[in-house]
Amino acid sequence: MKFNRKGIHVRRSGSNVRFGLCCLAALAAAAECSAPLQAQTAACPTPAAHSPDETAAASAADDASPANNSLAAKAPIAEYRSKHFLVRTDLAKDRADALVERLEATLRIVEKYWGRPSRGRIECYVVDDLANWSDDALPHPLARVLVGGVGGATVVRSQREGKRIKHKPEVYASARPGVAEHESVHAYCTSAFGATGPDWYREGMADRAYYHRHGERDVQLPPDTMASLKQGKRRTLHEIVNRGRITGELSQSVDKLLAEHEADRQIQGLSGEAKNVPLEAWRPEHEQDVKTARESYLWSWALCHLLCENPNYAPRFRALGLGYLTGQSAKFEQAFDAVSREMSFEYDLFLQHVEQGYRVDLCVWDWNKSFLSAAERTAIVASVSAARGYQPSGLKVRAGERIAYAASGAWTLDAEGDALSADGAAGGRGRLVGALFDEFKLSEPFELGARGAFTAPAAGKLYLRCRDDWGSLADNRGVVSVRFSTPEERQESSDR
Ligand SMILES: [Zn+2]
């Protein structure tokens, strides 16, 4: 056995095939469930997942033969082939078909994003219940631990073919929705590029396939994951991208399990192909490694999601990623040097406002709009869309300046909602609000409405929006035009 920085490598006797543990998808349920692991059952079922009880009940129902009553019924393992995948799974056919469809959909998204076709079929082992699988059916010796303890992993077989080294990914995943999709992103990067990028990028991009597995643009996180993002210690951009090996501890833990297992076998005089490390070897203390890795995954996802969805940074981010995958010396800080303050500002805003349903693309900051100060101003009319976050008014104000405005037009807060003026509804929803931007800081919002005047609480550029929950902007309709008085008009009105 040989260790290197990529993790564990198992040398199979008589061949030059090597297995490298390239990724550990320590996914939600394994990390968030505190129940102790039961040997030979899938790690920790989530409510959405197929529970072992259901599996047992379904299997028992299938198994009507009296002769088999004393035996635990096992679901058969079947093989499913699609254009890009060869999936072996113990899922029932309808669930397996749905899984293969989701994997193909994920692949379409990543091929389009990274612009390179996947090579060859990706082999996947998707496990609903480990009890259905013999050791022979799971080729990697750590498969039980990877599926039952960690959640999933992509193992890379590097094979020399003449002068070229071919990287063949193999996916091990629990059947919980999203896990195989996450792993398939690693497998695609491995097969198409032979690389997956730095840990934060690799896991953040793969978790996009987990959280947005139906191609949704809005944020939908499990409630406790959302709570970690909102209430946990906030990581800076620098901390996220310089985290190093975020699965390091976990990799070491599973490396160690395999080493111990092989040593035990030698002591017992067992030779030949190593049988799988049993799930009993996975102990509660390993859960902490999973939890630690999961925290880093979440912050990596947050940054990758923001940069993929925000057109201010998306092209640069894609180019950076391609640099990572094609082995150029791409550096995050270098790529975003020219816009680092803008990006930090939008990242902070994202963390401040993110909630279920939040749409990064609707809350993009417009950095290009020109703003006029009092001396330069003629009449300014700003257009404010109800379905967007803060939008630039074009008006630059001094602290204490008094400004009159009038808004015309109407908007609605959902598809069927009543048309509202910029005064909004009772309770303040739908009301026109403003905030002042200065030196990459945004003031607290202050209320405007359909008509009136306000005294600028500070100096800055005025941004406007329709007040609504940050997670429900997408279904808003309508635009309101806001006209701000010119200095002359204000002079006239104060002379009267
Ligand atoms: Zn992963």
Residue 25 CA, ligand 1 centroid: distance in Å:
4
Distance between Cα 201 and ligand 1 center (Å): 10
Give residue-wise pLDDT tens across range 377-390.
778 899 999 999 99
Whole-number Å distance, alpha carbon 84 to ligand 1 midpoint, is 19
Q: What is the 3-state secondary structure (H, E, C) of 83-119?
A: CCEEEEECCCHHHHHHHHHHHHHHHHHHHHHHCCCCC
pLDDT at 273: 57
> How is 328-395 classified by DSSP, letter by letter?
----HHHHTGGGHHHHHHHHHHHHHH--TT--GGGS--------B-GGG-S-EEEEEETTSS-EEEEE
pLDDT of residue 42: 24
Paired tokens of 229:
């993002």
At a CB cut-off of 8 Å and minimum separation 6, what does 311 contact?
Answer: 361, 364
Distance 180 CA to ligand 1 centre (A): 10
Report the pLDDT value the prediction gives residue 1, as an integer from 0 to 100: 33
Which pLDDT score is estimated for 245? 86
Ligand 1 center–CA 407 separation, angstroms: 49
What separation in Å is there between the alpha carbon of 149 and the centre of ligand 1? 14
CB within 8 Å of 5: residues ≥ 6 apart: none
CB 422 within 8 A of CB 482: yes
Q: Burial-class residue 83 by CB neighbours within 10 Å (0-12, 13-18, 19+).
A: exposed
Phi, psi of 91 (to 5 degrees): -70, 150
| DSSP percent split of the chain into helix, strand, coil, nearest 5 | 40, 20, 40
And the tokens for 90? 């113990």
Q: What is the pLDDT of residue 308?
A: 97
**CA 480–ligand 1 middle distance (angstroms):** 45
How many angstroms separate the alpha carbon of residue 415 from the centre of ligand 1? 38
> How far, in Å, is the centroid of ligand 1 from the Cα of 474?
30
Q: Cα(414) to centroid of ligand 1, in Å?
A: 37
pLDDT of residue 492: 61
Confidence at residue 452, expressed as pLDDT on a 0 to 100 scale = 95
Distance 55 CA to ligand 1 centre (A): 27
Can you tell me whether residue 289 is helix, strand or coil?
Answer: helix
Task: Give me the CATH code for the 374-495 domain, please.
Answer: 2.60.120.430
Q: Side chain identity at 440, as an amino acid letter?
A: F
Matching residue, tokens 């035009």? 481
CA of 22 to the centre of ligand 1 (A): 8
- Give me ligand 1 centre to Cα 28, in Å: 12
User: What does pLDDT average to in each consecutive run of 10 residues of the chain (496 residues)?
Assistant: 34 40 47 27 27 34 37 82 97 97 95 95 96 93 92 86 84 94 95 93 94 89 94 94 86 87 81 77 87 92 98 97 92 95 98 97 96 79 97 94 94 90 95 97 96 93 97 96 77 57
d(C-alpha 427, C-alpha 441), whole Å: 27
- Would you say 297 and 202 are in contact if contact means Cβ atoms under 8 Å apart? no
Amino acid at residue number 128: D
Burial class (CB in 10 A: 0-12, 13-18, 19+), 459: middle
Instruction: Return the pLDDT at 495.
Output: 54
Residue ranges of the domains in the chain? Answer: 2-216+246-294, 374-495
* Distance spanning both ends of the chain, measured CA to CA: 90
Cross-strand partners of 405: 452, 484
Please give the pLDDT value at position 4: 32
Instruction: Share the mean pLDDT of the chain.
Output: 83
Expressed in angstroms and rounded, the spacing between residue 139 Cα and the centre of ligand 1 is 19
Q: pLDDT per residue over 465-487, tens digit each? A: 999 999 999 999 999 999 998 65
pLDDT at 250: 85
Please give the pLDDT value at position 61: 36
- 179 C-alpha to ligand 1 centroid (Å): 9
C-alpha of residue 417 to centroid of ligand 1, in Å: 42
Can you give the pLDDT at residue 274? 54
CA of 329 to the centre of ligand 1 (A): 22
Q: How far is the CA of 203 from the centre of ligand 1 (A)?
A: 5
CA of 177 to the centre of ligand 1 (A): 14
DSSP string, 58-90: HHHHH---GGGTTSPP-PPPEEEE-SSEEEEE-
Span from the CA of 285 to the centroid of ligand 1 (angstroms): 20
CA of 454 to the centre of ligand 1 (A): 51
